[in-house]
């Protein structure tokens, strides 16, 4: 009797939890490493160029808005 | 500073993109720090700060960068020392020194061109013999031209307020 009730609850909640977790993980995820760059000693007048790599490990497109100080 | 994102501002799932940061050191010296702010639609990382920093080394150091003689008397002579130091790793040629205004008021005991080896200092004496000018103020400069791409010139600004000599007459 109890095992049948347990089976019924399980068959209802487990797919629900799976569905909810999949909704929760359906998001972009930004990964940047490292976030800091030390260029060292640079003679005045030179231009320093550096590439930061940003990866989207999530399962939705990642949108960037970039500004600076 | 300029920022370029060649791959665009929308990154598909599983892909990556490059954020290219270019920082010019022109006119800067000492520690230089820049922060890039990124606002994203990632619920766990809505705001990300990227930092780029460096130490900017001056190649040519001139001291002082400006000379204010204050209030000076017409016809009197005033002197100031100017030093120029090559802090770069290579020799620098000072190709020319231009003094303005070219009214013989300001002179520099120099012979240009000359070579300044790495780590070397040269000291000049700037002589100022003021003449009365229209509004009483003298704005001048000593411009040191170099053979470098940057700085191609270093400027020492010169300021003074000239007072007319009072001549007493016996009646």
Residue-level pLDDT, tens digit, chain B, 171 residues: 999 998 899 999 999 999 999 999 999 999 999 999 999 999 999 999 999 999 999 999 999 999 999 999 998 999 999 999 999 889 999 999 999 887 778 998 877 899 999 999 999 999 999 988 888 899 999 999 999 999 999 999 999 999 987 766 665
pLDDT for B168 equals 67
Closest residue, chain A, to B61 (C-alpha) = A44
- Each residue of B108-140: b (16+ CB within 10 Å) or e? bebeeeeebeeeeeeebebebebeebeeeebeb
The pair phi, psi for residue B146, each rounded to 5°, is: -120, 170
Query: Is residue A13, in this structure, part of any structural domain at all?
Result: yes
Query: Is residue A20, in this structure, part of any structural domain at all?
Result: yes
Chain A neighbours among B 128-147 (CB < 8 Å)? none
Residues of A in contact with B46 (CB under 8 A): none
**Strand partners of residue A53:** B18
Domains in chain A: how many in total? 1
Query: Is residue A63, in this structure, part of any structural domain at all?
Result: no
pLDDT for B166 equals 72
Whether B50 sits inside 8 A of A61 (CB atoms) is no
pLDDT for B34 equals 96
Across the beta sheet with B106-108, what order do the strands follow?
B60-63, B78-86, B121-128, B106-108
pLDDT at A15 over 80: no
Closest CB from A37, A43, A62 relative to B88: A43
Residues of A in contact with B5 (CB under 8 A): 64, 66
pLDDT at A60 over 90: yes
pLDDT for B167 equals 67
pLDDT at A22 over 80: no
Query: For residues B75 and B127, is the Cβ–Cβ distance under 8 A?
Result: no
Query: Is residue A15, in this structure, part of any structural domain at all?
Result: yes
pLDDT band at A61 (very low <50, low <70, confident <90, very high): very high
Whether B40 sits inside 8 A of A62 (CB atoms) is yes
Kindly state the average pLDDT of the residues A30-54: 95
pLDDT at A2 over 80: no
Query: Is residue A36, in this structure, part of any structural domain at all?
Result: yes
As a whole number of angstroms, the distance between CA B42 and CA B13 comes to: 12
Taking phi over 0 as left and psi of -120 to 50 as alpha, with beta for the rest, B59 belongs to: alpha
- Each residue of B11-43: b (16+ CB within 10 Å) or e? beeeebbebebebebeeeeeebebebebebbbe
pLDDT for B65 equals 94
Q: List the domain range (segments joined by +) for residue A35.
A: 4-56
Query: Is residue A64, in this structure, part of any structural domain at all?
Result: no
Whether A68 sits inside 8 A of B43 (CB atoms) is no
pLDDT band at A6 (very low <50, low <70, confident <90, very high): low
Stretch (H or E) spanning A13: helix A2-25
B35 in A contact zone (CB under 8 Å)? yes
The pTM of this model reads: 0.72
**Strand partners of residue B160:** B138
B50 in A contact zone (CB under 8 Å)? yes
Query: Is residue A61, in this structure, part of any structural domain at all?
Result: no
Across the beta sheet with B30-40, what order do the strands follow?
A36-43, B47-57, B30-40, A62-68, B10-11
The count of other CB atoms within 10 Å of the CB of residue B105 is 19
Query: Is residue A66, in this structure, part of any structural domain at all?
Result: no
Closest residue, chain A, to B2 (C-alpha) = A68
Closest residue, chain A, to B152 (C-alpha) = A45
Residue B131 distance to chain A (closest CA, Å): 38
pLDDT at A8 over 70: no
Q: Which of the residues A28, A31, A38, A40 would you substitute to probe the B interface, choosing the one with the greatest number of B C-beta atoms within 10 Å?
A: A28
Count residue pairs from A and B with Cβ separation < 8 A: 167
């Amino acid at each position: 009797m109890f095992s049948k009730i347990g089976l019924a609850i399980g068959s209802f909640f487990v797919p629900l939890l799976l569905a909810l977790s999949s909704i929760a993980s359906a998001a972009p995820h930004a990964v940047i490493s490292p976030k800091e760059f030390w260029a060292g000693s640079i003679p005045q007048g030179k231009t320093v160029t550096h590439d930061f790599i940003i990866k989207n490990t999530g399962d939705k497109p990642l949108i960037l808005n970039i500004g600076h100080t | 500073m300029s920022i370029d994102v060649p791959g665009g501002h929308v990154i598909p799932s599983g892909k990556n993109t490059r954020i290219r940061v270019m920082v010019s050191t022109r006119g800067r010296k000492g520690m230089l720090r820049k922060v890039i702010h990124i606002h994203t639609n990632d619920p766990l990382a809505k705001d990300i700060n990227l930092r780029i920093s460096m130490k900017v080394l001056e190649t040519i150091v001139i001291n002082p960068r400006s000379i204010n003689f204050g209030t000076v008397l017409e016809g009197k002579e005033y002197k100031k020392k100017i030093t120029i130091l090559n802090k770069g790793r290579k020799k620098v040629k000072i190709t020319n020194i231009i003094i303005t205004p070219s009214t013989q008021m300001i002179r520099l005991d120099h012979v240009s061109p000359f070579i300044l080896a790495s780590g070397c200092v040269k000291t000049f004496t700037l002589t100022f013999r003021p003449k009365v000018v229209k509004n009483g103020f003298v704005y001048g400069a000593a411009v040191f031209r170099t053979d470098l791409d940057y700085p191609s010139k270093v400027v020492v600004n010169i300021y003074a307020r000239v007072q007319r000599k009072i001549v007493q007459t016996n009646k």
